[in-house]
Structure 1
């Protein structure tokens, strides 16, 4: 039984997700389908990139990940499939793959241009999730070789949207940005948690300086707190609150990391 995941911006109000699952299970009845999320903000490929990168390492080898956040649907943007050492990703060629490309290089990459494996040789201009991505994933789950699904292409020709890299500045401090905002309003930066191991630190966001702690509980109620997330990114939170609203923050806002030798490290 093959595991497939779905990551979309479709929400759950409409039938879109259910239709994709219906297409998949019609072709591959034993497929084990797992929903990563369907609450990506509409057309938000940056958030989709982050969520795919975050989830990808936690699935069994050979898992097929289907991502449909596709503002270019119906245009000449490519539909692609990539094989990695740990699994497959089927996705529009719009940069969403950029986060995973920072983890692994693909073994093979294919443009999904063979209508034999589509639901319909004349797909809808608005629902490639149903007409291309879902049926192709199901055929792959049934054992069709990925290279049979279309034309082999060079992965370096893909739309490139890598995760922004933190920089060591002239001020002798790490500078980065907010790369994602989660459901709780926590601001996830692109600064790795390894930078602050056994250090006293704080992070600047605009005019605000937020002290780093080891847990949310080290901060007072409704107090800003910096800490290392479960995925080893430095994040900014509000204990029992919402940092996105508190700071009026958005993805891309700049942050700066400061080391402070005079403070006691949390125990």
Structure 2
């Protein structure tokens, strides 16, 4: 790679469900470094629950706005690895997405639609023409993402596909009612906070509470607005209404899970 190409290189982020016990993350970074040892790779998280595409979708959707335009986002949560699911790269206004076509990018693309997409069929940009059936992250996604970051045009990476054909994860949308909004839980973080699919815009400047698990949960501004161990609802830093417990775990206490319903009531 020429010095001119290095000067044009893009930033890369990396998200997966690989954890930090095994070598998978390190090996993928090694493949990237073989193509460009000077490329900056920022780990978003590798603690996505195994095979949890919905959690990966949420995390990537809430992370991408904080990176420069042109960033390459590599995301690998891939329970269908080795099957007929497509390996893809997508261009959108903020940069590029590389990973499996299983809905992992549908959150990002719901906010910033795809400009162009390709199926990764050009073996010249794979690590090997005979990739492992269980580790496309190493053999396809990592080298493709590195090449994109090095300035290789998207269209060279494979066959163009219709962005409308990309897989969308089936996440229920929130719906307005006569006195509020009905939604569901779309993500649960490591603290047990229950993030809903109701955006902050519905409650800003209003008095409100949440109905969930048979409880009336007060809408607050900070965790400290209630005593330790008490349940509250608030807008999280990600911009979505969430249920939490001050110094506690709302998931464990309320026994609520992904996609379970809740309602914001305006008063």
Q: Same fold (TM over 0.5)?
A: yes
Pairing partner for 1:14 from 12, 19, 22:
22
Question: 1:120 offset after TM fit, Å?
Answer: 0.6
- The Cα shift of 1:197 comes to 1.7
Cα deviation digits, residues 161-220 of structure 1 (max 9, x gap): 264311124x64310000001111100001111111222111011211101111111111
TM-score by length of 2: 0.94
CA distance in 2, matches of 1:23, 1:161: 29
1:200 aligns with 207
Q: 1:28-177 to 2 correspondence within 5 Å?
A: 28-161=36-169, 163-169=171-177, 172-177=179-184
Match of 2:255 in 1: 248
Matched, 1:23 2:31: yes
Decide whether the 8 Å contact of 1:101 with 1:162 is kept in 2: no
Mapped to 2, the partners of 1:93 and 1:50 lie a distance apart of 15
Q: CA deviation at 1:137?
A: 0.8
Aligned equivalents of 2:213, 2:247: Cα separation in 1: 22
Aligned to 1:182: 189
- Range with greater deviation from structure 2 (221-230 or 138-147): 138-147
Give me the whole-angstrom Cα distance separating, in 2, the residues matched to 1:130 and 1:198.
Answer: 48
The alignment's C-alpha RMSD in Å is 1.1
Deviation at 1:61, TM superposition (A): 1.0
Count residues with an aligned counterpart.
Answer: 259
CA contact (8 A) 2:101 2:166 kept: yes
SS of structure 2 residue aligned to 1:164: coil
Is the Cα–Cα contact under 8 Å of residues 99 and 162 in structure 1 kept in the other structure?
Answer: no
1:120-153 deviation line (CA, Å, top 9, x unaligned): 1010000000000001111112221111000011
* Alpha carbons 1:187, 1:237 under 8 Å: kept: yes
The answer on whether the counterparts of 1:136 and 1:149 sit within 8 Å (CA) in structure 2 is yes
Q: TM-score, normalised by structure 1?
A: 0.94
Cα distance per residue 1:69-106 (max 9 Å; x no partner): 00000001000000111110001000111101111111
Aligned to 2:6: none
Runs (5+) with no aligned partner, structure 1: 261-267
- The answer to whether the 8 Å contact 1:2/1:30 transfers is no
Q: Is the 8 A contact 2:179 2:266 kept in 1?
A: no
Distance 2:106 2:144 in 1: 21
Per the alignment, do residues 100 and 162 of structure 1 end up closer, same or farther by CA in structure 2, a change over 3 Å counting? Answer: farther
